[in-house]
Amino acid sequence: MIGLQWKAAQAGLTTYFHPGINLKKIHYYSIKLYEKLEEETGQVVGFHQPGSIRIATTPVRVDEFKYQMTRTGWHATEQYIIEPEKIQEMFPLLNMSKVLAGLYNPGDGHIDPYSLTMALAAGARKYGALLKYPAPVTSLKPRSDGTWDVETPQGSMRANRVVNAAGFWAREVGKMIGLEHPLIPVQHQYLVTSTIPEVKALKRELPVLRDLEGSFYLRQERDGLLFGPYESQEKMKVQDSWVTSGVPPGFGKELFESDLDRITEHVEAAMELVPVLKKADIITIVNGPITYSPDILPMVGPHQGVRNYWVAVGFGYGIVHAGGVGKYLSDWILHGEPPFDLIELDPNRYGKWTTTEYTEAKARESYGFNNIVGYPKEERFAGRPTQRVSGLYKILQSKCSMGFHAGWEQPHWFYKPGQDTQYRPSFRRTNWFEPVGSEYKQVMQRVGVIDLSPFGKFNIKGQDSIRLLDHLFANVIPKVGFTNISHMLTPKGRVYAELTVSHQSPGEFLLITGSGSELHDLRWIEEVAVRGGYDVEIKNVTDELGVLGVAGPQARKVLQKLTSEDLSDDVFKFLQTKSLQVSNIPVTAIRISYTGELGWELYHRREDSAALYDVIMNAGQEEGIDNFGTYALNALRLEKAFRAWGSEMNCDTNPLEAGLEYFVKLNKPADFIGKQALKQIKAEGLKRRLVCLTLATDDVDPEGNESIWYDGKVVGNTTSGSYSYSIQRSLAFAYVPVELGKVGQQVEVELLGKNYPAIVIQEPLVLTEPTRNRLKKKGGKDKI
């Protein structure tokens, strides 16, 4: 492992809180490790655990706290919303005039970074690790067998794998092997006061305070106070000289010159909330570097395109992540798969589109937004658009609200003249609710077009291509000219990825995955191919191909005007794939649609997107063709009970509990990855299962990760949700214990502090078009 350091710029804050889901597990493990570290290593670590309180001074902050409470209810973390009276009792020095509520985490606190680093080093030595420092890495050279030669002034060594954990030197280490890690150092300041009599008189340590509107944290430091602000993106300072010229040689525990002018408004906010600060003397100002990634989340795991090169870099909140990430990485390395899903930390979420300019713009934004309200469906606009825009971007940008997907801009929803076009995030239904309903009807009743260009797209061919895919996927390999939905599983039988697999010509395949999974999935495929010695060629064609989805009852009628290929149901069957011409534009057409309606996905050269879109829109005028976005797509797929990777299935779930049995062929001859584990899971029986719920709410809909209640206890969680425009009720997927999974079972879903009655329904709520077609041919009734 490259990197061992302590960070002078950190105030050592530790918290169980995180707005994400599985990152709470990282925080939890770190804190539990630090609690026993002194006893285990004999090293004093200076760990204080007085708890922490986040302060709400606006009604929307109270909503945010309620939103976070339902996302925490099914985790081990203790968290409570507390009233102003309780806040004042715990922190008697507060000015309570604006305080509405607090979010309280017992066990939060702070730890001395230097002491923690020394204790972790002592513990590592105790269990056999060899630590050498100073030992700067001067060269990294990959070998043909996947091992590495690592050069340092203290000598060279051979490593089976390299973990880049080099902090603000991580960029330099990456450059040694031709990688540009999207990291940038920012300056962060905190202030320490002299003794304050009112603090000294307290009988117990004050909880750590976070004033979210004032954008600062504050804690007790001996008999004084320490507080650190996060200034706005306009005022904060990026250490960009380190990006262009590298970290100065020998830089270690040094600090930057302080700059109080940048944080004056935050100091004033702190004095208003904690009035004793007004008469306190500032004795220390610390201004040091913190390394930021574009989205403030660290990058953890193996890196695509380089064998046995792992990273643990970009820790904006390093102390609370350190212990948990160390355990997470070691488990992954030892067992060949991550212990739980953390795709939000995947270093492969970034790519060639992540320029230095983008990284700086996003780091500024992320730092300035440290304490911004965390809404569902949040969008952040700095650094956009990147070079990754589809051929439709200029045509559509003035007609819709775009979302950011792995560097791409993709329409979320479209607006009509006279409608509110602003980005208005909310915990409740907001300005996109009605327009999305119109798009839903467009697809169900007429025909809609959607830009699906952000899909990850791979070509795989070669003499071992079929053998490789048969080993990778739990489903059978589709026949030539056909497509299926297939899943890559981990050795323990969890769902690593979901892709559509199209067998285009003998031994040549087109694989499609979600935008956020592109390099995540490609890395896994490449690793298995290399490890198994498969003779295949794997090519990432994501940026070369555009994709248009055409869906709805009139889709065939519109497209048939533009091609000589027979699109009739008997000739172009569901899940077939064909190469054809649409108005002289070559496309690969797959009869599939995530809407569950009649539809095709049209894969084409990215430079042809605008022309293809124009001819389709012109051809569909008589049928009333129009655009639709991903919000309507989500509502449509939920009604059809289509699962989504990252929500209903991921590395935390197995395909059987996710209801994916149809796509898992345990009896196929090939020994696919995870097959034996899945057989064991099936033999032992499931403990939980995915169900579909309907619930009557008022102005709020489930998003996913909300707590499911039964008999006064939290028993499960939602995975995704939406409003159903067909039955005009909320709809959600949820994991519940098997005994609560029967149709008709009543449970409750917690949304913004209120439990709403919900009922398990027979899925799907709406039958797919192929199923409706089949029933019609058999004389059955249409069920919509």
Average pLDDT, the chain: 95
Tokens linked to 99? 């305080």
pLDDT tens digit sequence for 648-682 = 999 999 999 999 999 999 999 999 999 999 999 99
SS3 682: helix
Mean pLDDT within 264-275: 96
Is residue 348 very low, low, confident or very high in pLDDT (cuts 50, 70, 90)?
A: very high
Place of tokens 């713009």: 361
pLDDT tens digit sequence for 74-132 = 999 999 999 999 999 999 999 999 999 999 999 999 999 999 999 999 999 999 999 98
Tokens linked to 784? 């919509």
pLDDT at 2 over 70: no
65 within 8 A of 79, measured Cβ to Cβ: no
Distance from C-alpha of 401 to C-alpha of 423, rounded to nearest angstrom: 7
Is residue 10 very low, low, confident or very high in pLDDT (cuts 50, 70, 90)?
A: low
Mean pLDDT within 585-614: 98
Place of tokens 């697809």: 443
Is residue 377 very low, low, confident or very high in pLDDT (cuts 50, 70, 90)?
A: very high
User: How much is the pLDDT for 149?
Assistant: 97
- What lies within 8 Å, CB to CB, of 465 at 6+ separation is 507, 508, 509, 534, 536
Which DSSP symbol is given to 378? -
Name the percent of the chain in helix, strand, coil, to the closest 5: 30, 25, 45
pLDDT tens digit sequence for 439-471 = 999 999 999 999 999 999 999 999 999 999 999
Distance from C-alpha of 706 to C-alpha of 693, rounded to nearest angstrom: 13
Distance from C-alpha of 624 to C-alpha of 125, rounded to nearest angstrom: 71
User: How much is the pLDDT for 133?
Assistant: 82
Strand partners for 300: 312
Distance from C-alpha of 301 to C-alpha of 343, rounded to nearest angstrom: 9
Best mean pLDDT range from 10-19, 133-142, 235-244, 666-675: 666-675
DSSP letters spanning 577-645: EEEEEETTEEEEEE---TTSSSEEEEEEEGGGHHHHHHHHHHHTTTTT-EE--HHHHHHHHHHTT---B
Is residue 713 very low, low, confident or very high in pLDDT (cuts 50, 70, 90)?
A: very high
pLDDT tens digit sequence for 582-594 = 999 999 999 999 9
% residues pLDDT > 90 (the chain): 94
